[in-house]
Amino acid sequence: MKAYLSRRYHFSASHRLHTEAYDDARNREIYGKCNNPHGHGHNYIVQVTFSGQVDPVTGMIFDLAELDAFAQTSLIDRFAHTNLNALDCFANHVSTTENLSIEVHRIFAGFPAAHLEKVHIEETSNNSFEYAGDAKLLRGTL
Amino acid sequence: MKAYLSRRYHFSASHRLHTEAYDDARNREIYGKCNNPHGHGHNYIVQVTFSGQVDPVTGMIFDLAELDAFAQTSLIDRFAHTNLNALDCFANHVSTTENLSIEVHRIFAGFPAAHLEKVHIEETSNNSFEYAGDAKLLRGTL
Amino acid sequence: MKAYLSRRYHFSASHRLHTEAYDDARNREIYGKCNNPHGHGHNYIVQVTFSGQVDPVTGMIFDLAELDAFAQTSLIDRFAHTNLNALDCFANHVSTTENLSIEVHRIFAGFPAAHLEKVHIEETSNNSFEYAGDAKLLRGTL
Amino acid sequence: MKAYLSRRYHFSASHRLHTEAYDDARNREIYGKCNNPHGHGHNYIVQVTFSGQVDPVTGMIFDLAELDAFAQTSLIDRFAHTNLNALDCFANHVSTTENLSIEVHRIFAGFPAAHLEKVHIEETSNNSFEYAGDAKLLRGTL
Amino acid sequence: MKAYLSRRYHFSASHRLHTEAYDDARNREIYGKCNNPHGHGHNYIVQVTFSGQVDPVTGMIFDLAELDAFAQTSLIDRFAHTNLNALDCFANHVSTTENLSIEVHRIFAGFPAAHLEKVHIEETSNNSFEYAGDAKLLRGTL
Amino acid sequence: MKAYLSRRYHFSASHRLHTEAYDDARNREIYGKCNNPHGHGHNYIVQVTFSGQVDPVTGMIFDLAELDAFAQTSLIDRFAHTNLNALDCFANHVSTTENLSIEVHRIFAGFPAAHLEKVHIEETSNNSFEYAGDAKLLRGTL
């Protein structure tokens, strides 16, 4: 009787797409306006999806209040109102939303009360990214 | 040539999360404000997803008008403008949206014209639940 | 240089439309399914709009953090996860969203940092109500 | 380290559901108001989902600008502001959104930079269709 | 104690922007792709806003069920699943959403239970039109 | 026969709220997290509303294609994918959305084909700002 619970968290942050591996011309070519020197920003909408058994007594997969507390500390306090490029996890990785999805997946894979299925991030109303990979392999990657 | 058709139905209902299996203090601890004695409510958005072959002549998986008629009788007439706790299906189960998803899955699994893939219920703009389980096993559960 | 600032707050509550002034048959006639004995509920989206001068130094009309603190105490703590009918303000008034708009207008008219222009409440994605009246006259009404 | 990228494209078009295989009465029975002689229309929201490896240097699955250029030529220039029934691909197929999904899948399966996972088309806010089939088999079908 | 009630109705229709007053080249110049010979279509979202006194007993401005019945007959049955250009009201007027707003305003100005304040029509998620004019003057215009 | 046309434009940008008029502690107190040294960002949704007569022949207030061309040059090319603080117009003004609304109003007041009624900017799904002031007075202000 496996069911899925998805919850959305919102934060606003800025970023600039740029890799030290390439020169300025190549960066401009690859990232276009997203490489503009002063950066830009987004209202990110993060949706995390967990799966689990529905407890026959409580009727819940797990307690959402626990997830909210976890998200406040691990996601919102760390990413909201920041420049992603200035964060440790993007010191050696470009702050694309692909990479952000992987990092957010790594974070919520550590939530103890249920199994993380996937992380979906809406960067704009027309762009979104999803990551459902093996979080264990990724620890240390970002 | 399997394709998927999803359709959304909307209804407003109230509920209170409370289980007779626990005392008031434990209920309050588990359900927080959702355990408030007088209940609260939501605009539930139910999305049902069916799969099937696209008919080479009609270009349709099945006739949406049939699904709408089924949903009117089986879902809207039964759940809209109700207190979920007062319904038979929640007599012995807590009216969480996890359990509501299972019950709605049971209902639409009975739609004869196509195969039900999953039921997704948005409880609030930030909370949603999905159930894709074996409906046959569940008959009698809720 | 008057500008307008609108902010949305969300809460879930239940209600039942019923007036003691009429008998059951008339209530049923007037309110239809909204008169169902056990009530139903909504995810209310309250949008409050204030006007004011843009401060030439801060570039702000007023501090949103103050409004959020005010809304937490005066709106969310009072209405979220409740049955509206059980609240004092609806002891002698039907808990329609028209009346809820008037009450929410009365509340935010008391916000000291800016002038309240109007209150808009979305009851469902297709239904909304707005009140922009004289809050002073209304004190005591609801 | 497979990740998913989804992007939305919007276009407005008209269509009429009608098959030459059946007489008028049967068409009316099958398609209802969608068979009205002069047709009707929609704001279609097409979401294409691709999967791929996140490039360890660029942090991207592929370059969205390439996809946008491909979509402009292959999707928007061809479908936007048209009557679907007048297009070659619907000369022998009914212009249902099921069939449109299959055709759009065929189109984006030709995008060279990443693997197309699925095509999702929202016909109205309550109706959507998805196709994830084998595009190779379908070439020539529509 | 004047309050406002807004309600949304949805319908899908097709149209083609073209005026007999000009030749084809000029039509193409004025209307661009909206002049394509076979037309295109939209999911129109009509929002009508009424004002009135909140009844001190019922707590309502008027009965929404009456408005829904009126809208079904006067709006939905007439416009849904049609080609706007084929309707009488657009026999001598171009089926722009400006003109549609005026016609819908004329229709709802005839609703007897409350005062129509304005009609707002969303043609696409980025385009909308509003009309709040004197409906009496307009009778006969469209 | 005055009607209103509203059109939405979207862009992503970053900003940091900080005024040189105050010291760091006061800035932190006034702007909270929006004063974080590296800034953050948003997906801004700008809605501009124009009024005018509906042309009896074309059925249009004015040509949307003209407005789109104007917006591309004057709004999108200037603001999209930028850090607002690095723009000339915010050299001496804090990049609040109040001030952004005033600047965007100044820009669109220069659109020659219709009368600008107001500018509405959604900063996040819960925050929005509107400016309808006298644009002439403001020229030179920002």
* pLDDT tens per residue across span B18-56: 999 999 999 999 999 999 999 999 999 999 999 999 999
Q: Within an 8 Å CB–CB cutoff, is residue A47 touching chain F?
A: no
Residue B141 is assigned to a structural domain of this protein: no
Residues of chain F contacting A83 with CB distance shorter than 8 Å: 14, 36, 38-40
> Which of the residues B44, B58, B62 would you substitute to probe the D interface, choosing the one with the greatest number of D C-beta atoms within 10 Å?
B58
Q: What is the pLDDT of residue A1?
A: 73
Q: Within an 8 Å CB–CB cutoff, is residue C22 touching chain F?
A: no
pLDDT band for position E133 (50/70/90)? Answer: confident
| Beta-ladder partners of A127 | A124, D7
Which run of H or E residues covers position E127?
A: strand E127-131
* pLDDT tens per residue across span E55-67: 999 999 999 999 9
Provide the CATH number for the domain around residue B132. 3.30.479.10
* pLDDT tens per residue across span D127-139: 999 999 764 444 4
- Cβ atoms of E116 and E105 closer than 8 Å: yes
* pLDDT tens per residue across span E76-119: 999 999 999 999 999 999 999 999 999 999 999 999 999 999 99
pLDDT at B75 over 60: yes
Q: Within an 8 Å CB–CB cutoff, is residue B30 touching chain C?
A: no
Of these residues, F10, F40, F81, F103, which one is catalytic?
F81
Of these residues, A89, A105, A122, A123, which one is catalytic?
A123
Q: Return mean pLDDT, chain B.
A: 93
The yes-or-no reply on A/B contact (3 CB pairs or more, < 8 Å) is: yes
Domain count, chain F: 1
* pLDDT tens per residue across span F15-72: 999 999 999 999 999 999 999 999 999 999 999 999 999 999 999 999 999 999 999 9
Q: Which residue has the higher pLDDT, A120 or C139?
A: A120
Contact C5 F128 (CB under 8 A): yes
Distance CA B97, CA B106 (A): 14
Instruction: Specify the DSSP class assigned to residue F129.
Output: E
* pLDDT tens per residue across span B114-134: 999 999 999 999 999 999 976
Q: What is the pLDDT of residue E101?
A: 97
Q: What percent of chain A has pLDDT over 90?
A: 92
Contact E40 D80 (CB under 8 A): yes
Find chains touching chain F: ≥3 CB pairs under 8 Å: A, C, E
Distance CA A131, CA A134 (A): 9
Q: Does A38 participate in catalysis according to the annotation?
A: no
Residues of chain E contacting F4 with CB distance shorter than 8 Å: 129-132
- Across the interface, of D22, D130, D141, the residue whose CB is closest to B3 is D130
Distance CA F110, CA F118 (A): 13
Distance CA B112, CA C22 (A): 45
Residue in the structure block whose two tokens are 């360890």: D56
* pLDDT tens per residue across span D24-83: 999 999 999 999 999 999 999 999 999 999 999 999 999 999 999 999 999 999 999 999
- Cβ atoms of E46 and E9 closer than 8 Å: yes
Q: What is the pLDDT of residue E137?
A: 44
- Cβ atoms of A107 and A39 closer than 8 Å: no
Residue E142 is assigned to a structural domain of this protein: no
Residue C130 is assigned to a structural domain of this protein: yes
Residue D8 is assigned to a structural domain of this protein: yes
The residue count for chain D: 142
Q: What average pLDDT does the segment A50-66 reach?
A: 96
Residue D142 is assigned to a structural domain of this protein: no
pLDDT at A134 over 70: no
Q: Return mean pLDDT, chain F.
A: 93
Q: What is the pLDDT of residue D134?
A: 60
Q: What is the pLDDT of residue E142?
A: 44
* pLDDT tens per residue across span A72-120: 999 999 999 999 999 999 999 999 999 999 999 999 999 999 999 999 9
Residues of chain C contacting B78 with CB distance shorter than 8 Å: none
* pLDDT tens per residue across span E36-49: 999 999 999 999 99
Residues of chain B contacting C42 with CB distance shorter than 8 Å: 12, 41-43
Q: What is the pLDDT of residue B135?
A: 45
Distance CA A130, CA A45 (A): 12
CB pairs under 8 A between A and B: 60
> pTM for the complete prediction?
0.94
Residues of chain B contacting C34 with CB distance shorter than 8 Å: 81
Residue C77 is assigned to a structural domain of this protein: yes
pLDDT band for position F133 (50/70/90)? Answer: confident
Q: Which residue has the higher pLDDT, B139 or A105?
A: A105
- Across the interface, of A83, A124, A125, the residue whose CB is closest to F40 is A83
Residue B142 is assigned to a structural domain of this protein: no
| D69 to B77, D9, D63, D65, D75: CA distances (angstroms) | 48, 12, 10, 6, 10
Distance CA E127, CA F68 (A): 11
Of these residues, D10, D34, D93, D122, which one is catalytic?
D34
Q: Within an 8 Å CB–CB cutoff, is residue C99 touching chain E?
A: yes
- Across the interface, of A36, A38, A82, the residue whose CB is closest to F40 is A82
Interface of A with B in 63-92 (CB under 8 A): 63-65
Q: Does B34 participate in catalysis according to the annotation?
A: yes
Give the residue from chain F lying closest to E131, CA to CA: F3
Q: What is the pLDDT of residue B81?
A: 98
Q: Which residue has the higher pLDDT, F136 or D115?
A: D115
Residue F100 is assigned to a structural domain of this protein: yes
Which run of H or E residues covers position E67?
A: helix E64-71
Q: Which two tokens stand for residue F46?
A: 């700008």
pLDDT at A12 over 50: yes
DSSP, collapsed to helix, strand or coil, labels residue C133 as: coil
Structural domain of F57: 2-136
Q: What is the pLDDT of residue C113?
A: 95
pLDDT at B80 over 90: yes
| Beta-ladder partners of A56 | none
Residues of chain E contacting D86 with CB distance shorter than 8 Å: 38
- CA C22 from chain center: how many Å? 25
Q: Within an 8 Å CB–CB cutoff, is residue A3 touching chain B?
A: yes
Distance CA B3, CA B14 (A): 35
Contact B22 A57 (CB under 8 A): yes
Q: What percent of chain E has pLDDT over 90?
A: 92
